[in-house]
Amino acid sequence: MANRGPSYGLSREVQEKIEQKYDADLENKLVDWIILQCAEDIEHPPPGRAHFQQWLMDGTVLCKLINSLYPPGQEPIAKISESKMAFKQMEQISQFLKAAETYGVRTTDIFQTVDLWEGKDMAAVQRTLMALGSVAVTKDDGCYRGEPSWFHRKAQQNRRGFSEEQLRQGQNVIGLQMGSNKGASQAGMTGYGMPRQIL
């Protein structure tokens, strides 16, 4: 974690729980996919959460990844900077996140810039990359490189059409959430506050 001292107490427990969600096997799969997808001479990082963070931290690999998912000439990030300045690196991560959301990754699946840059939640970074891979496999537009079995296909739209007659029949049915009084009666009930009569 960059620029932060050790945490104690509840903060430490929370950080340990976040760190337990990180999956080393998933890291290997994601690294292999990113290198294959970018089809460039990208260096393979050593295994481990810290190395994975350092590999992605400047944002260049992420920007190359999102650009590779678009046809040539339609890349969302025009200029990828290899700057060592912190604000430039964080800006590139933000550009990747905006492009991923535009590509189809849900907002709830997208990590925060500090999750990667400070290494706060690398499991969230993995979730975003998994979601990006799933969207790429689902789109099936010829830009995805890699095994289709590496990522789950997202559910597709399943529209249903009903005829006018079916819709009219549905208006005559009382839904179960409205309740039912079949078999119910008020026999034997007394008013509130009245004592029970035992004979």
Name 69's Cβ contacts closer than 8 Å, sequence gap at least 6: 37, 103, 132, 136, 143, 144
- Integer-rounded Cα Rg, in Å, for the chain is 27
Query: Tokens at residue 25, please?
Result: 């096997």
9-148 CATH fold:
Actin-binding Protein, T-fimbrin; domain 1 (1.10.418)
Question: pLDDT digits over 144-195, tens only?
Answer: 887 777 787 776 677 788 888 888 887 777 666 666 666 666 666 666 666 6
The whole-model pTM stands at 0.69
Domain boundaries, the chain: 9-148
